[in-house]
Structure 1
Amino acid sequence: MTPSPMKIHRHTVKTSGLAFVFILSALMAFTSLSTDIYLPAMPLMAKDLQADVELTITGFLIGFCIAQLIWGPISDHFGRRKPLFVGIALFIIGSAGCALSKDISQIVFWRVFQALGACTGPMLGRAMIRDLFSRTRAAQMLSTLMVIMAIAPIVGPLLGGQMIEMSSWRAIFWLLVVIGALMFMALNGLPETLPEEKRVKASFCGAVHNYYALLTNSRYMRFTLCLSAYYAAAYAFITDSPFVYISFFGVKPQYYGWLFALNIVGLMAMSMINRRLVQRHSLEWLLKCAVSGAAIAALVLAFGVKLQVGGIFLIAAAVLVFFSMNGVIAATSAAAALDAVPNIAGSASALMGALQYGSGIVSSLLLALMHDGTPWTMAWIIALFTVISAVIALTTKTDVGDD
């Protein structure tokens, strides 16, 4: 049965449960789509621009994490819909700027600009879920959305790989302009989930105080840092996998998407399983199991690459297990973190997103600075941050409460 919104304010736009889920899924997929679709083109872009194109991901993540800290308080004050419209408009402008860029500095600038808008999708999507659903139900809803939104990172690299066969990498960014325009129109079918009486009326100083309160909330920060460390590892793979598969192992760009899609299929499967598991087990217990499994896979990856055994098959298999665990990790950690601070869900989701995707800045910069032309740098970065995530999760106490 498809989850549907509950207790939506009477002045909001009416929509069916299916439409609500579809639009939220598309919003939450904006981040992955903005990067995954041009992954197969990165080696070609590096050759064309004569620069480290890993910086285009770094620039996007910088804009993404900073902007969320601003959009969070804005959404708590003005509601969720208005910031979404402005955000998607910025995304469209940034995508056009990327397509028209002449050098690496220009494209990094427009990637930052693109991120200023793209960040509103997943951040406000999570906040809207917390506006409407209880702790366990929110985890179920997030798992459902992850199944649907996983279409983007499957189709994105496949589509991007085919587009560079027929056109240039610039066409990929023009496609993002079109997608952004379609999303802007779809927002008209999205309800406002934060009624007037629940909106935060505090000033900017109040927003800063909210972030201070979040940073000093140990329970919220544990779940947020666990997710952030895992995403630092995930972005090491996202950033370097085109070079590992295409440049190192010689996989053709149009086939790279299939290797990348394999991981998303695993993520979708675990998300579907997680929808049932959250009804039987605590979020904390599921999170501990998932990050432990991801850590084991990451260590197998690192040792396999260091010892030069298994080749591309070991890398693909280990990353499949590692990435699949995101179907549990993202949903359970986000639901548990937001449950700790329900009254400022917008700011909480913003800070979570800033740290979650900001952690990718660390891994992408490490790859740009320390890449040695082999999979080793990617492998040890994945292992390091996944183990950190596991340690944080395993030292978190279980709370079986629900609201």
Structure 2
Amino acid sequence: MTSTTSAPQTARFPLWLLICASLTALAPLSIDMYLPSFPALAADLHVDIGQVQLTLGTFLVGLAIGQAFYGPISDRFGRKPPLYIGLTLYGLAAAGCALAGSAESLMLWRFLQALGGCTGLVVSRAVIRDRLEAHESARAFSSLMLVMGLAPILAPIIGGAILTTLGWRAIFWVHCGAAVLILWLVHARMEESLDPQRTRTLHPATVLRSYWELLRDREFLGYSLAAGCVQGGMFAYIAGSPFVLIELHGIDPSHYGFVFGANAFGLITMSQVNVRLVRARPLDEVLGVALFAPCLAGLMLAVAALTGWATLPVLLAGFFVFLAGLGCITPNASALALAHQSHRAGTASALMGTLQFGFGTLAGAAVSLWHDGTALPLAVVMAICGCGAVLLRSYGHAGAREVI
């Protein structure tokens, strides 16, 4: 059954949106749950913390690369078939992570896990665009963030509890179980949303031409990269905060999840504020104002780190403001980027995800490779990401087809 209505949904969280949320939550679940185990991983595998951080980098590379393939496939065969492949690969790779005996093998399995898990990111965005138009999409993305926001709140807490009782390997067995559960939900309860009349060919020339056209589309590219810059700052935080908070400032690994969860709570709160804001204001106007939060927070963090004022309260405040801003930024930027891409929603969603996670990979790698025993690498990378997002949103706004 195909549904392509653009009318607002009567239920705040219809079943199809809850399934999309669970698919999207796989990525933060896969990342955030094992963050408290970084020091234990380093000790068990006899490597330094920088190499453990690179396992996160390989995961982000897999997320960026894999999405480029699933988008055109979902535009050709529908939204569900790629999920069967991706979720199966994700579950098998999670089992491989649990059995890994070295940092190198863990990196490989994490890469494969990401190649499977990224299908949920592509398909969930495409399903929302299949069913809803721009303003309704922004509200749906905000509602989705309310659900998926529980993952970064609960995942580090659960991960810390599993770490202290069963060890870090058990965390990946939980990932495997989650893949089985979501695969069942997709098979039994998810309806196909792609209109058969909108299927597209998988001919390589056509796929490459679509990607080329999207890269030349200032509206799509600017808004996608604006969100990508801010997400790059978030992934820099994900890569660098375990060291800065646990190692540098002495936060207990089992308490790290509470700090991480507080930031996620701010993101959830702002995503729900965004639902109200976009009812009365243009999406681009809300986005433009919201982007100053990560920009100013990033600059504050960088100045504090450079001047020696990067105390724990200052860092926590800067992290909170930066990450809370994503609650308004990600839904609106995603809706604006996809607003005029209904004829190739899967391909556009894939490229948007590839660009955004590409930024995340670069930001996370920069923090890991620059590791100097201080908070400076993390603070500077977040500042660059926050400022870059403001400039890229202006680029997208200049190429916008209409005010949305």
> How big is each residue's C-alpha offset from its partner over 1:15-44, in whole Å with a ceiling of 9 and x where there is no partner?
996322211111111111111000000121
Shift of 1:203: 1.3
Residues 311-339 of structure 1 deviation map (CA, whole Å, 9 limit, x = unaligned): 11111111101100101111011100011
- Cross-structure match for 1:238: 238
How far did residue 204 of structure 1 move? 2.2
1:37 maps to what in 2? Answer: 33
Q: Is the 8 A contact 1:99 1:171 kept in 2?
A: yes
Whole-angstrom distance in 2 between the partners of 1:68 and 1:200: 17
For the residues of structure 1 that align with 2:319 and 2:386, how far apart are their CA atoms?
Answer: 12
Match of 2:203 in 1: 203
Task: Give the alignment's TM-score, normalised by structure 1.
Answer: 0.94
Q: CA deviation at 1:308?
A: 2.3
Take 1:402 and 1:136, find their aligned partners in 2: how far apart are those partners? Answer: 11
1:221-300 aligned at under 5 Å gives the runs 221-300=221-300
Deviation at 1:394, TM superposition (A): 3.5
Aligned to 2:69: 70
SS of equivalent residue, structure 1 residue 53: helix
**What TM-score do the two structures reach when normalised by structure 2?**
0.94
User: How far did residue 184 of structure 1 move?
Assistant: 0.9
Q: Which residue of the partner structure matches residue 370 of structure 2? A: 370
Residues 107-138 of structure 1 show CA distances to partners (whole Å, capped at 9, x for unaligned) of: 11111100111101121100000000011000
Aligned residue number for residue 116 of structure 1: 115
Counterpart mapping for 1:120-199 below 5 A: 120-187=119-186, 188-199=188-199
* 1:19 corresponding residue in structure 2: 15
Alpha-carbon distance in structure 1 between the residues aligned to 2:16 and 2:301: 39
CA-to-aligned-CA distance 1:178-199 (integer Å, 9 cap, x gap)? 1111111111211100021111
Asked if 1 retains the 8 angstrom alpha-carbon contact of 2:246 and 2:252, the reply is yes
Residues 8, 192 of structure 1: 8 Å contact kept? no
Partners of 1:135 and 1:400 lie apart in 2 by: 13
Q: Report the residue type matching 1:66 in the other structure.
A: I
Partner residue, 2:397 = 397
Runs of 5+ unmatched residues, structure 1: 10-14
The equivalences for 1:318-329 within 5 A come to 318-329=318-329
Deviation at 1:202, TM superposition (A): 4.4
Does the aligned pair in 2 maintain the 1:85–1:184 contact within 8 Å? yes
Q: Match of 1:216?
A: 216
- Kept after mapping to 2: 8 A contact 1:282/1:400: no
Q: Secondary structure of 1:111's match?
A: helix
Q: Is the 8 A contact 2:129 2:345 kept in 1?
A: yes
Partner of 1:97: 96
Contact 2:363 2:381 in 1 (8 A): yes
Deviation at 1:286, TM superposition (A): 1.2
Higher mean displacement: 217-226 or 252-261: 217-226
More displaced 10-residue stretch of structure 1: 135-144 or 195-204: 195-204
1:304 match: secondary structure: helix
Runs of 4+ in 1 over 6 A off after TM superposition: none
Provide Cα deviations, 1:136-192, integer angstroms capped at 9, x if missing partner: 000000000001110111110000111111121111001111111111111121110
Q: Secondary structure at the match of 1:279?
A: helix
Deviation for aligned residue 1:306: 2.0
Superposition pairs of residues 324-343 of structure 1, within 5 angstroms: 324-343=324-343
Letter in 2 for 1:31: A
State the alpha-carbon separation in 1 of the partners of residues 272 and 114 from structure 2. Answer: 29
| Contact map agreement 2:79 2:194 (CA 8 A) in 1 | yes
Give deviations 1:39-83, integer Å, cap 9, x for gaps.
000121122223311111111111111111111000000000111
| Partner residue, 1:384 | 384
Please state whether the residue corresponding to 1:372 is helix, strand or coil: coil
Q: 1:400 and 1:204 mapped to 2: Cα distance?
A: 28
Distance 2:340 2:38 in 1: 40
Q: CA RMSD in A?
A: 1.9
> Which letter maps to 2:38?
M
> Is 16-25 or 176-185 further displaced after alignment?
16-25
